[in-house]
Amino acid sequence: MVMTVDQRAAAQPRSLTAKILSFPVRKAIRDLKGLPASLGRVGSLELRLATTKKDIRKAQKLRYKVFFEEGGALGDARSKLTGRDIDPYDRLCDHLIVVDHDFVNRFGRKKPKVVGCYRLLRQDVAEQEGGFYSAQEFDVAPLLARHSDKRFLELGRSCVHKDWRSKKVLELLWRGIWTYVRHHRVDVMIGCASLPGTQLSHHAGALRVLADARADQEWSVEALPHRRAAWVERPEAETDPRRAFASLPPLLKGYLRTGASIGADAVVDHQFGTTDVFIVMPVAQIDARYISYFSTPGALAA
């Protein structure tokens, strides 16, 4: 059989570059289960759920900038080559993002920019795919077994670009989380929160504050035995509670104010250069003021 030029060309394997260029980057890849993609807007900032690979790549680039370039996390060859924090769980999770539509790039053109993000993993999805991300550090199974009648949601990979770190962006993200929680009838939120640095002695005051917020036995979670780190605490007299609380990262302070409890142990994550603690937030125990605030349309704009 004699092939024409066009047939021979069609039969040749395409290069990786050609495949990438031909991929419809705006193709929807997420089923939002009835939620709208856009969840609200305050000025130029839009809160939305990622629906395309392009959206997720932008969130990964932000995470790389915050965790690796700014935070000093150790990236693999793929992350360094792409400039993205690429993780297998990204394909399972929903991605909550804040987009600034007034961002002007270096060429003087307006181009929407992802300036904040969160990763959300529902229990029904996690159980089909091997479990929660936090189960790599903490023994989550006993908690899930004790509350088998409840729906869990894991929060993770939260970050905000350093030029947009404001109360407004963080509250937009939390408004999105609460919308997601109500839509999917989530009963409990869990996840890891981090202190920067791997020397626990440097976090003595912060760990003392966190110890006061430890969960009771019903909600307690322990670290995996091979990941458990010694929990360093200073005696009460040596710790200034206000100063110690002020030293906590904004995200951790927000969790505690909302009513979150802390797991029994700490874990040192050498890849990300952090000390991690487990967060558990039963929705029924969240301070009613915050539920009212994040449920009220227009509250953030005001």
- Condensed to tens digits (0 to 9), the pLDDT of residues 38-68 reads 999 999 999 999 999 999 999 999 999 999 9
Residue type present at position 13? P
Domain boundaries 28-295, corresponding CATH code: 3.40.630.30
Q: pLDDT confidence of 33, banded at 50, 70, 90?
A: very high
Strands 188-196 and 274-282: antiparallel
pLDDT digits (tens, 9 = 90+) for 287-297: 888 888 887 66
Cα 115 from Cα 45, distance rounded (Å): 9
**Section 137-158 average pLDDT:** 97
CA–CA distance, 61 with 214 (Å, rounded to integer): 34
pTM of the predicted model, to two decimals? 0.86
The candidate with the shortest Cα–Cα distance to 66, out of 85, 45, 53, 79, is 85
- Strands (E) located in the chain: 38-42, 45-49, 94-100, 113-122, 152-160, 188-196, 228-229, 261-269, 274-282
pLDDT for the residue 105: 85
Task: Return the pLDDT at 14.
Answer: 39
Q: Are 134 and 140 in contact (CB under 8 A)?
A: yes
Distance CA(205)–CA(241), nearest Å, equals: 8
Looking at per-residue pLDDT, the higher value among 97 and 130 belongs to 97
What mean pLDDT comes out for the span 77-100?
95
> Which two three-digit tokens encode residue 133?
């991300």
| Of the ranges 188-192, 237-241, 250-254, the best mean pLDDT one | 188-192
Q: Where are the domains of the chain?
A: 28-295
